Structure 1
Amino acid sequence: MSHSLSQPARRTASSRHGLFAAVCLAALALAGCQSRGGGIGDITGSIGQAPTQPRSQAEWASESSKWGKRYEANQKDRNAAFYYARALRAQRQHAQALAILQNAVLTFGDDKEMLGAYGRSLADNGRLKEADEVLGRAHSPERPDWRILSAQGTVADQLGEHPRAQQLYETALKLAPGEPTIMSNLGLSLALSRHLPEAERVLREAASSNRSDARVRQNLVLVLGLQGRFTEAEELARQDQSPAEAAATVAYLKRSVSQPNSWDMLKSGGRNKPAPAKQAAPLQQGASQG
C-alpha cells in the first residue's frame, strides 16, 4: 500500500483508505450497536441493575478503572469480567478485552451474554470464523436475540457472505422492527452487494428514526457518494461535521470512487482506522448496539 512513500505521503494514502474503512464500517463495527465505544457490535444487556453505558472516553476510562480493580481482586467475578472487558473494548484495547473474555467463558460457558461479548471481541481482533461460531452459540432459536443476530450479520459481511448477512438482519428486524442500527447494518450490506438504490432506501428510513445517530447518517453519506450524488452527500455530512470537514469528506469520496479499486476498498473493512476530520462517536453494532 505504501511502497517507499515518505511519511506525509503514507499518511495521505492511509487517510484516503481510512475514510472508506471508517465510514463504510460505521454500522458494521457496531453490529447494530448501541455502544458508543467502538469495536464489532456492542456488549449490551445486563445482569441485575447494570449501569447505563457511558458515552465519553473519559467515562469509559473511569469505568475501566473501577471494574479493573474489582476484576484484579477476583477474576471469577462475572460482572467484573464482563464490564471491565466492555470498557476496554470501548477504548479499543481489543487484545486485553479478548484475554479477559476468553478466561471468563471458561467459567461462564453457559452465559449467553458472556458468549455474545466474547464473540464480538473475537471479531474485534479479526478472528471472524471463530466469532461467527461463538455468536451462533450466544442465543438459541427458542430465545433469539436481535443484537446477536445483527452482530452475526456484521461478521458475515466481513467474511464476504452478504446474502447470509442480509438474512440475519432481516431476522433481527422481525424481532426489533424499525431498529435503526439493524437497518443501518442492512443498508451497508446492500451497498457492499452493490444494490445502491435499495441501500439508500433502507438507510434513509433508518436515518429518519428518532433513535438513529450520526453513524447512520455517515453510512448514508457514503452511499450517496458511491452514486455520485456529492452535493446531497455534503449537505447531509454537514449535520454532523463543520462545513470544512464535510467538504473534505466529500472531496475524499470523489477521489475514492474514481479509483478502479474503490469497491475493494469498501470491502476491505476497518483494517486502517484513521478517520477524516472529526468523526461522530464510533459504531458495534454491532453493533452488534448489537
Structure 2
Amino acid sequence: MEYAAHCRSKFSRISVTVAVCLIAGTLAGCASKSKLTTGSVASFNKPLAQMNATELNNAARTAGAKYKSNPKSGPIAMQYASVLLMTGSNEQALAVMQQAAIHNPEDRTVLAAYGKAQAGAGNLDQALQTIRRAQTPDQPNWKLLSAEGAILDQLGQSVQARYKYREALDIVPDEPSVLSNLGMSYVLEGDLRTAETYMRNASKQPAADSRVRQNLALIVGLQGRFDEAEKIARGELSGNQAEANVRYLREMLAQSNSWKKLADS
C-alpha cells in the first residue's frame, strides 16, 4: 500500500501515504531504482521516494520529454507515470497509462502499472479489475497478488488483502515489499505492534529498499518512540527531512483525530 504517493506533503518523506505507498511500492517492484525503468530507459540518480520537489519536477520534465518522443513504449510510459504519481499528478498519470495499456494490451507489467495509476486516481474498483485481468491463475505473478492486496486494503477488505499477501509470500518467501505491504495493512487498522513485527522482518531482508525502512520509521513513530523513529529515518533521509517528519508526526498524534488525519492524508 509501497500505497501509499499522494501523501507527498510534509509526512510523505517517511512513507508515501499509508494506503497508496503500498500499491506504489508493489507495482514498482519495491526497488530503490524503479524496475519500471528498464531497457533503453535511463534510471534517475536517486529513488523517486527520496527526491525533493525540485528533483521530482526535473525528473518529470526528463521523463515527459522521453514519453513525448515515444508514447507507445511501455517502459517509457511507466517511468513517466511513476514520476507523475509522485508529484501528485494522478489524473495525468492515469491518462499516460491508459494509452500505454491500449498500445500494449498483452503486457502484464504495463497492465499492472495501469492499475497503479487507476488506484492513484482513486478508481479503486477499476484498478482491481485491471490487476485481476493482468493476472494468470495458472502462473500467478506475486507482484500482481501483492498489488491486488494493496487495493483490497484501500477498499477496507483487510482479510482478503492479507490472503493475497500470503499467496504472494508463498511464491517469494521473505520478499520485503510484500512483508512491508502486510505490515502496512495492520497499520490501517491500528494494530501497530503486529505491523512493526512484519516491517522489521521486511527491513532485515537483503533486498529491502529505503521505502521499507521509512515505513518502519513511520510505525515506530506512530507508537510514540520518536527518537528511535528519527534515528531510523536519518539512515534514509537528510537530517532536516527526518526531523521535519518526526515533528509533523508529533503534532499529528497530539491531536485527538490523529488517526483520521493519517487516513485522510
Which TM bucket (shorter chain)? 0.7 to 0.9
- CA contact under 8 A between 1:162 and 1:189: conserved in structure 2? yes
Indicate whether 1:55 and 2:55 are aligned: no
The aligned counterpart of 1:275 is: none
Query: Residue 184 of structure 1 is aligned with which of 132, 156, 180?
Result: 180
Looking at structure 1, the residues matched to 109 and 241 of structure 2 have their Cα atoms a distance apart, in angstroms, of: 38
* 8 Å CA contact retained: 1:224, 1:232: yes
Confirm or deny: 8 A CA contact 2:37 2:79 kept in the other structure: no
Aligned to 2:65: 65
In structure 1, the residue matched to 2:200 is 204
Partner of 2:78: 86
Map of 1:1-290 to 2, 5 A cutoff? 22=16, 24-25=18-19, 27-32=21-26, 33-34=28-29, 44=36, 50-51=39-40, 54-56=43-45, 61-71=61-71, 77=72, 80=73, 82-92=74-84, 93-106=89-102, 108-268=104-264
User: Is 2:29–2:143's contact at 8 Å kept on the other side of the alignment?
Assistant: no
Higher RCO (CA-CA < 8 Å; seq separation 6+)? 1
Q: Residues 85-111 of structure 1, C-alpha deviation per residue, up to 9 Å, x if partnerless?
A: 212212215433422432444454444
Quick check: which has more Rg, 1 or 2?
1
Partners of 2:217 and 2:145 in 1: CA distance: 25
CA distance in 2, matches of 1:37, 1:122: 23
Report the CA distance shift for 1:65/1:94 in structure 2 as closer, same or farther (over 3 A): same
Asked whether the 8 Å contact 1:21–1:266 carries over to 2, the reply is no
- TM-score scaled to structure 2, two decimals? 0.77
Mark the CA change 1:199 to 1:139 in structure 2 (over 3 Å): closer, same or farther: same
CA separation of 1:83 and 1:61: change in aligned 2, threshold 3 A: farther
Higher mean alpha-carbon deviation, 58-67 vs 180-189, is at 58-67
Q: Which amino acid aligns with 2:83?
A: Q
Query: Cα RMSD between the aligned structures?
Result: 3.1
1:16 Cα deviation from its structure 2 partner: 6.2
Q: Distance in 1 between matches of 2:32 and 2:120?
A: 12
Q: Partner letter of residue 28 of structure 1?
A: L
Deviation at 1:153, TM superposition (A): 1.6
The structure carrying a bigger helix percent of its residues is 2
In the TM superposition, what is the alpha-carbon distance from 1:127 to its structure 2 partner?
A: 0.8
- Tell me the distance in 2 between the aligned counterparts of 1:117 and 1:238: 30
Count the aligned residue pairs: 242
Give the superposition deviation at 1:188.
0.8
Amino acid aligned to 1:237? A
- Structure 2, unmatched stretches of 5+, are 1-7, 46-55
For the 8 Å contact 2:23–2:150, the answer to whether it is kept is: yes
Does the Cα contact within 8 Å between 2:115 and 2:126 map onto a contact in 1?
yes
The structure-2 alpha-carbon separation of the partners of 1:221 and 1:234, relative to structure 1 and needing over 3 Å to count, comes to same
**Secondary structure in 2 matching 1:225:** helix
Deviates more, 1:225-234 or 1:241-250: 241-250
Distance apart, 1:172 and its partner CA: 1.0
Identity across the alignment (%): 33
Is the 8 Å Cα contact of residues 115 and 131 (structure 2) preserved in structure 1?
yes
